[in-house]
Amino acid sequence: MKKYNLFDNFICLLMGAIIGIFLYINFFTKNNKELETIQKDNKIVEVIKKLKRQ
């Protein structure tokens, strides 16, 4: 058994969590922006369809 085995594991888990949170935030914000633009585009299309019906 190493003397700092538990401490090393804790540091590795902490670094992994930080990297995971960083990647999650990056991809989540990118996907959110794409979803917002798609929703805005859909609203414009719905308005055009309503105008064509009238």
Q: In the chain, how many domains are there?
A: 1
Name the residue with tokens 């700092």.
Answer: 4
Per-residue pLDDT, averaged over 42-48, amounts to 64
Amino acid 2: pLDDT: 61
Rg (CA), the chain: 23
Specify whether the CB–CB gap between 2 and 8 falls below 8 A: yes
Quickly tell me which residue has 């798609």 as its tokens.
Answer: 38
Q: What pLDDT is stored for residue 35 in this prediction?
A: 62
User: Domain limits at 9?
Assistant: 1-54
pLDDT band at 24 (very low <50, low <70, confident <90, very high): confident
- Helix/strand/coil percent split, the chain, to 5: 90, 0, 10
